[in-house]
Structure 1
Amino acid sequence: TGYIKVKNFGENTYAELLVALAELSQEGFSNLVIDLRDNTGGYLESAVQMINEFLPKNKLIVYTQGRKSPRQDYKSDGRGSYQNIPLVVLINEASASASEIFAGAIQDNDRGTIIGRRSFGKGLVQKQMEFPDGSLIRLTVARYYTPSGRCIQKPYTAGDNVDYEEDLLARYQHGEFFSQDSIKHTGPAYHTGIGRVVYGGGGITPDIFVPEDTIGMTSYFKEASMSGLILQFAFTYTDDNRIKLNTYKDMMELANYLKKENTVDKFATFANRNGLQRRNLMIKKSHSLLERSINSRIIYNMLDDNAWTQYINQDDKVIDAALNVFRNNAAFPKKPAAKPGKKEKPQKTAEVKRDSVKKVGVERTNTTDKCIC
């Protein structure tokens, strides 16, 4: 199974994707995970080029339309080299804009499976305009719509700034990050090419929901993370032990060494000296989270982002869900069964008229006039 983490959609992201895919092809990958979690977007052109690699000819990828902007369709040209590879796309609440265009195109065209949590809901087309003094303004001119006609942009009422800006907080407090039943769809229902129901009204709802993992979460861990103490400790530990750490060039070897070093206890002592009181019961409860967070930063410091990603993915429940989809040969969505006693009505199809890529193998298997969005 191949895995590619896309951090943003920059000018060079498409080229980097092709390089990563070529490297995976040489390794003989048969399934692909595209990770768009925490990807806040970028250039529309890059997203369209990347999606084109996975779709057959003449499939609608996305369209834009505004009050003063006529509709513009973006379709696949059929030249993509990976049109038949089983595909899973990972998203979360921080996946926005171009990430949502990517996920929406894959979902509405029934090309792959979307896993994770509902995305952010940013679907505005912005054009950059320069003034004579060199200053710039980004002007919103239209909205993005997925192939089925869904508007990606979450609802906004004039004067309702607070609720709009605190939408993620409200979703968290409502329980949406932890229970699929808590997701509130405010928009109408639409249908994919084979008739699966999808919803508009803001963001992309995944086909498979994976709740945020809160096992071992304590106030101690939250403060340790948010205060920056874990990062500070990781830098200090790395500098103090660089000669020894330099002997490990492999992620697993370094991870195994750090596990024996009891970095959590050393961190607790460091944190206590720097204002975070030692709380042994909380440390015990959050030990796995602390160890994962501390050791991952040390691995990042000593090796690279690729090694960091491999380490983090080892116990990632969203990755586990993706691998399970591949094991069950379920990456390509199935047509919904007709309801008993009723003739199946034909559904509207998805067809409507008219920098930053990291490639790693998942270890637990046998293994853009640019519009800004």
Structure 2
Amino acid sequence: MLNKKSHFSPIVFALILILGIYLGKSLNFNTFQQNEFNKFNLVLSQLEEAYVDSIDREELIEKAVTNLLEELDPHSYYIKAKDLSAVNEPMEGSFDGIGVEFNLLDDTILVVAPISGGPSHSVGILSGDKILSVNGDTIAGTGLENEDVFKLLRGKRGTKVNVGILRKGQEELLDFEITRDKIPIYSVDVSYMITEEMGYIKINRFAANTYEEFIEAAQKLLDKGMQELVLDLRNNPGGYLGAAINISNEFLEDDLLIVYTQDRSGSKEEYFSNRKGLLINTPVTVIIDEGSASASEIVAGALQDNDKGTIVGRRSFGKGLVQEQFEHPDGSAYRITTQRYYTPTGRCIQRPYAKGQDENYASDLLQRINTGELLSRDSIEFNDSLKFVTPQGKIVYGGGGIMPDIFIPLDTNSYHSSISEAIRKDLIRQFAFNYTNQHREELESQNLFNFIALFEINTNDYNQ
């Protein structure tokens, strides 16, 4: 057999050499990654084999991931599989259950209100009803916590649950079979006319359905003659970026910058108003406080930087980081910061933080109290390097939340020792529910303004 010699041209040889170098680098990089991964697995394996006590591999992995994310920033974190549903539900705008608002009063589930059109409302559950048993098991007086109630009453859509109800005026326990269904979670707490011309809307979060709820509420107020709006974002921790952008859009002229985000490479995504909004001609006052964060600050910042409306209250939380959620096949998930967002003038309102578990960041509210910031605007120091100017010449600051145009100090009435004790012991809430149960018919016959004008606490009520 003849031996054939292979002849390579210089070009072919050069290409092979380049390819070899590239593959070598790639393999070295992959090998490095593999070694790092193997280090973690090796430690786990050796712990399982040699550690003096038995270990829970899954628990150790979860703790490792938790600690890994906590080392990045205050808003990147791990979500266990068992907690994911509860974390996602408020933002998705619904859950499966029987459809009641409840409170635990004297170790008993008290129905505050059945959700209109929901399963409980459909079978005749009423406000003031007390749920004493579930599926034949007595639950009153057993030390229930809110989590226990969720487990008992929530469940897959279409499944059934039997509840025993104690109703005022009825001696016998009433039995109801309720078929669980999809229950909406509303993010617009309340909307009404304060005066004949001034409307009020309170938003508790920016969830999947918030924009639609807001538009419906705003339109109803406009139909009632609203000429100006108070938008209350106090203690609103934020939510979806898209919901904040859509709501801001309703107040602005066409083609105005609402917000932009920027990732680590410097790549920007800009979001502009794209039409004349529903409330373009409606003066707006936005109320914020130290609990207003993220999406709330996007709305407040967009309106402030575009000289639309007035921001009142106290300096907001200062969260200018955007998270993205990634879900794992085992049902767990993690949220990591992928971008920073900036207001139209270029402000980053994220307050400073140190990587890892930053105690100063976590205790920010306490620091604000100690420095007097919640009581006086003069207690707040601004860095001139973080000064920005709006199109109409108003000076605004970045670096730590949205500072309102008009400062409203914290109401310190609740600091009185007797009031603080009543709040701490939950006496005020308990009194409110008991009073409502005892005077339900009388209260239902009054409107809000009559109640505010006529309601008084007498000596007997106070002594309760």
Q: TM-score per shorter chain, which class?
A: 0.5 to 0.7
Alignment of 1:133-144 (within 5 A): 133-144=330-341
One-letter amino acid matched to 1:197: I
What's 2:255 paired with? 58
Alpha-carbon displacement from aligned partner over 1:269-301 (angstroms, at most 9, x marks no partner) = 23xxxxxxxxxxxxxxxxxxxxxxxxxxxxxxx
Q: Does 1:13 align with 2:210?
A: yes
Q: Does 1:151 align with 2:345?
A: no
Q: Does 1:123 align with 2:320?
A: yes
What's 2:288 paired with? 91
What's 2:231 paired with? 34
Contact 1:230 1:267 in 2 (8 A): no
Query: For residues 142 and 249 of structure 1, do their structure 2 counterparts lie closer, same or farther at Cα, with a shift above 3 Å needed?
Result: same
Contact 1:68 1:141 in 2 (8 A): no
- What is the CA distance between 1:115 and its match in structure 2? 0.7
Taking the aligned partners of 1:176 and 1:84, their CA distance within structure 2 comes to 34
One-letter amino acid matched to 2:312: I
What's 1:219 paired with? 417
**Larger RCO: Structure 1 or Structure 2 (Cα < 8 Å, ≥ 6 residues apart)?**
1
Taking the aligned partners of 1:158 and 1:216, their CA distance within structure 2 comes to 35
- What is the CA distance between 1:231 and its match in structure 2? 0.7
Query: For residues 78 and 237 of structure 1, do their structure 2 counterparts lie closer, same or farther at Cα, with a shift above 3 Å needed?
Result: same
- What is the CA distance between 1:175 and its match in structure 2? 0.4
Query: For residues 188 and 7 of structure 1, do their structure 2 counterparts lie closer, same or farther at Cα, with a shift above 3 Å needed?
Result: same
Alignment of 1:99-114 (within 5 A): 99-114=296-311
Taking the aligned partners of 2:227 and 2:275, their CA distance within structure 1 comes to 20
TM-score, scaled relative to structure 1:
0.68
- What is the CA distance between 1:160 and its match in structure 2? 6.5
Taking the aligned partners of 2:220 and 2:275, their CA distance within structure 1 comes to 22
Contact 2:312 2:406 in 1 (8 A): yes
- Say which SS state the counterpart of residue 336 (structure 2) adopts: strand
TM-score, scaled relative to structure 2:
0.55
Q: Does 1:269 align with 2:463?
A: yes
Taking the aligned partners of 1:207 and 1:78, their CA distance within structure 2 comes to 26
Contact 2:307 2:391 in 1 (8 A): yes
Which one of the candidate residues 420, 428, 438 is aligned to 1:230? 428
One-letter amino acid matched to 2:463: T
Q: Does 1:193 align with 2:387?
A: no
Q: Show structure 1 runs of 5+ residues with no match.
A: 271-373
Taking the aligned partners of 1:46 and 1:154, their CA distance within structure 2 comes to 23
Taking the aligned partners of 1:253 and 1:71, their CA distance within structure 2 comes to 53
- Say which SS state the counterpart of residue 148 (structure 1) adopts: coil
Percent identical residues: 50
One-letter amino acid matched to 1:227: K
Computed over aligned residues only, the root mean square deviation of the Cα atoms, in angstroms, reads: 1.8
- Say which SS state the counterpart of residue 232 (structure 1) adopts: helix
Query: For residues 25 and 243 of structure 1, do their structure 2 counterparts lie closer, same or farther at Cα, with a shift above 3 Å needed?
Result: closer
What's 1:82 paired with? 279
Taking the aligned partners of 1:268 and 1:68, their CA distance within structure 2 comes to 61
Contact 2:414 2:420 in 1 (8 A): no
One-letter amino acid matched to 1:30: Q
- What is the CA distance between 1:258 and its match in structure 2? 2.9
- What is the CA distance between 1:132 and its match in structure 2? 1.2
- What is the CA distance between 1:215 and its match in structure 2? 4.5
Taking the aligned partners of 2:264 and 2:433, their CA distance within structure 1 comes to 51
Taking the aligned partners of 1:142 and 1:171, their CA distance within structure 2 comes to 27
- What is the CA distance between 1:51 and its match in structure 2? 0.5
Alpha-carbon displacement from aligned partner over 1:118-167 (angstroms, at most 9, x marks no partner) = 00101110001011112111111111110111112111123571111001
Query: For residues 267 and 224 of structure 1, do their structure 2 counterparts lie closer, same or farther at Cα, with a shift above 3 Å needed?
Result: farther
- Say which SS state the counterpart of residue 22 (structure 1) adopts: helix
Which one of the candidate residues 148, 155, 179 is aligned to 2:376? 179
Which one of the candidate residues 198, 203, 210 is aligned to 2:408? 210
Query: For residues 256 and 87 of structure 1, do their structure 2 counterparts lie closer, same or farther at Cα, with a shift above 3 Å needed?
Result: closer
Taking the aligned partners of 2:261 and 2:286, their CA distance within structure 1 comes to 22
- What is the CA distance between 1:243 and its match in structure 2? 4.3
- Say which SS state the counterpart of residue 3 (structure 1) adopts: strand
What's 1:249 paired with? 446
Taking the aligned partners of 2:280 and 2:441, their CA distance within structure 1 comes to 47
- What is the CA distance between 1:228 and its match in structure 2? 1.2
- What is the CA distance between 1:229 and its match in structure 2? 1.4
- What is the CA distance between 1:201 and its match in structure 2? 0.9
- Structure 1: 4+ residue segments shifted above 6 A: none
